[in-house]
Structure 1
């Protein structure tokens, strides 16, 4: 099967129900199907199909998602591209990725000449939403094409996804995955989410990344995805109330801001069934606060561009149970249990030995959605697939009940005085303070210890805390070795286009001119 089969199933069962609404206009399933068909036929007529790559550069909107359906239906591979990347970064991804077709929103029209000049493979640049001087409109590109359902066979093992990794440590790698990646992710979410009625998904996070996976998972159920072009906290609350939103995916940082919003209680959020978090762990105290404010709607998942999403899932019921039962409160640190779309998931030491429950090591896995390789990087491919497993780069463990805990990223480990210190443990303690909205812990140069622990803190608006107060909290919970030697307060934290805190940028401020970023 192919990922678009679930959309066509939804169109067959719910032709008059809205598939997409909000930014970009309203499209019923039938209207979206007909447009996707014309896009697919246009792509094939222009010689684009299996083996070719397309990308979409747009804020969240209905036409952007419909283009994804049409191009995928033509057999093309989707290259995810983020609107919030730099122009140079996106030129690099398109160029290294040898992308054939770019579908863009008129708001970025001025960038198109740069893409045409810098990306030799780019044969088509199509404007999604308007007549534009830098490329034909989508309507023009599809003009004269039939709207009948394509019946081309698209093999499951054909090239289906070219994923740009998060890039939190530098230039993003480009994964090469077959159609299993998208299909299994779609299936995984369909298994994990059980809406009481046809879902209404508020697409706030970029549909070019994990937000798109959540939207795709609604199709077979006849769900509506309400598109929001940018994060607007009050607009989110208003839309939940007016559209009776049931499902929403947000990175932790936006959830924290939403919980701190002064008008949160002014809106009716009772329709919400699932508030999904991923990309980084949610602080346990914020989960408790969220359930108190929004009800038992919090769930978490773990996924990777290299391997699929969701690989693990912590349901709303499990999360609420952990909040209510002190004996299970530790599970609030978990990203859940292995989902059915993963063949095997284990913990491995540096020598390739599989470890048992409660033993800490690198999380490794096997799944049908695992990428084939990194584009043009056999060394990195061999490294991530050593010992016959996909190495996630995440340090963690599995408890005896099957719950997975990610204790940190392997690359973020601090080595101070010969001891390994994992920032997430310290960040979790800091996040328990009511004045802390977000934080990051990094290693900074220290003549005696090599690296010293530093915390960079973003305070909740209207709240105050001193460095001494936060240090004492850490000392009480963690002891002296893990207590930050210094705490700085910043007005904002640098983030990737998908909301992850960029620790490399924080470290850079303290390691500048040293020629390396470890002690």
Structure 2
């Protein structure tokens, strides 16, 4: 993408080129590209009339068309988007609003209870409900969307575009600063290295505040049709695939696990699908195998992080398999995130900064035009991860001789037991290859004899009964001393607001629970 051209200018060009095509669907509501662009431009004019350029604006709502309309309008008006997960508590939202110095918050009926409570404590902010007739303070949504007149494109490549907050599992959330040029580089990466087509129908089931909203733009620029799934449910997605003839969707592995294990999946016509994307956390082996068996070789793994949003490495459909020795059957690559995007450099390094040899574990470091500018008002935290032009991700991995990168885990999650390193992702991959295991998560806790020991939380497949002895027999031949010392069987692995495994919660539970199912 041309650095000198703003996303708004490029989006306007796409809207003119595809004006008659349907751009967006949400239930019975439909927009052509021309209609979507006109409404986003009107909203931009309404925002620019009230808010100063560079003001931070929180978007606190469920998946709905107003989110992506605001996404486009905020950029055109030169404002900074601050995505807020609809599952956040009032306290979490207030912490972020205070940290970024927000001037306005747009919300909906799903988040009304928390927004109303916060508006009482922060009446100086403009609180506007996008699916309501009255504003808590300031203009209501109807006034904003019906603004007459045009606003000039106020966006500049070097301007701050978004502040995306980390999940905060390791403390107070940090605001990742991404400029418009950062986002343009990200969209370029996707458009060059991902298979995005004009005739695609894209289903959005994940939060638009996260990866799903990021995918909206490059497919928009391609001229594709986007379908936002009402309620963001798995049933809603499966019904929409059949009804709208969806060709592509992306999701986190947790959602894919629910899809391939859905009790009524056979009653849905899913033959329109040509591609499925997944990422954000390790995928259980059984989920990957079931998805490949059901849908065929149409899966794409995407690896990124908030600080290097979305496009660091990718594993395409053709690279998902590795020939197994002595058999014609191709085995799926487990834990592999693929190879770097074309315009992204990745080097695995030891703690002293030296690149590690092929096959050895090192920390993923990244250099690219889409890497963040730093953390909002956190220069010391920024200096810890941005060193000499490289982003230190905190993720550990090893690389093979063909350039394929396989994740070992987070550096903070690695445990040392009896003087040996144990990477939870490696153990989890083996655990989830057991046919009776749905999900698994491994954490380390202190131990007087070993220094640390591995504790496994295991969610069995519905109706299956598992014992620690069975899992030890399954793991020991592969993992040896890395086999977990204790197992806790649970109905489901807990997730945080971003649908990722909540490792801090599991570690806290492991420290307080009795060491049951000892081995």
TM range (shorter): over 0.9
Q: Distance in 2 between matches of 1:213 and 1:408?
A: 25
8 Å Cα contact 1:395/1:407 also seen in 2: yes
- 1:48-447 superposed matches below 5 A: 48-49=52-53, 51-119=54-122, 123-132=125-134, 134-135=136-137, 136-146=139-149, 148=150, 150-195=151-196, 197-319=198-320, 329=331, 331-342=333-344, 344-447=345-448
Q: Distance in 2 between matches of 1:281 and 1:255?
A: 12
1:425-482: per-residue Cα shift (whole Å, max 9, x none)?
Answer: 1100011012211111011232212321110011222223222111211112111x21
Number of the residue aligned with 2:517? none
8 Å Cα contact 2:23/2:33 also seen in 1: yes
Unaligned runs of 5+ in 1: 514-519
For residue 511 of structure 1, report the CA deviation from its aligned partner.
2.9
Stretch of structure 1 that moved more, 105-114 or 265-274: 105-114
**Under a length normalisation based on structure 2, what TM-score does the superposition of the two structures give?**
0.92
Distance 1:32 1:314, change over 3 A: same
1:188-218: per-residue Cα shift (whole Å, max 9, x none)?
Answer: 2222332455211111100111111111221
Distance 1:269 1:45, change over 3 A: same
1:202-254: per-residue Cα shift (whole Å, max 9, x none)?
Answer: 11100111111111221112122211243422222111111111111111011
In structure 1, the residue corresponding to 2:397 is in which secondary structure?
strand
CA RMSD of aligned residues (A): 2.2
Q: Distance in 1 between matches of 2:488 and 2:116?
A: 42
8 Å Cα contact 2:314/2:339 also seen in 1: yes
Q: Distance in 2 between matches of 1:231 and 1:142?
A: 25
Instruction: Choose from 29, 42, 50 the match for 2:46.
Output: 42
Number of the residue aligned with 2:496? 496
8 Å Cα contact 2:197/2:224 also seen in 1: no
In structure 1, the residue corresponding to 2:25 is in which secondary structure?
strand
For residue 40 of structure 1, report the CA deviation from its aligned partner.
0.9
For residue 259 of structure 1, report the CA deviation from its aligned partner.
0.6
1:381-426: per-residue Cα shift (whole Å, max 9, x none)?
Answer: 1111134421000001222212111111111111222222111111
8 Å Cα contact 1:288/1:323 also seen in 2: no
Number of the residue aligned with 1:516? none
Residue 2 (structure 1) aligned with residue 42 (structure 2): no
8 Å Cα contact 2:83/2:164 also seen in 1: yes
**Under a length normalisation based on structure 1, what TM-score does the superposition of the two structures give?**
0.92
Distance 1:511 1:227, change over 3 A: same
8 Å Cα contact 1:109/1:132 also seen in 2: no
In structure 2, the residue corresponding to 1:125 is in which secondary structure?
strand
Q: Distance in 2 between matches of 1:119 and 1:304?
A: 31
Number of the residue aligned with 1:16? 20
1:316-338: per-residue Cα shift (whole Å, max 9, x none)?
Answer: 22225769996974634311111
Stretch of structure 1 that moved more, 456-465 or 314-323: 314-323
Distance 1:203 1:443, change over 3 A: same
Q: Distance in 2 between matches of 1:133 and 1:213?
A: 28
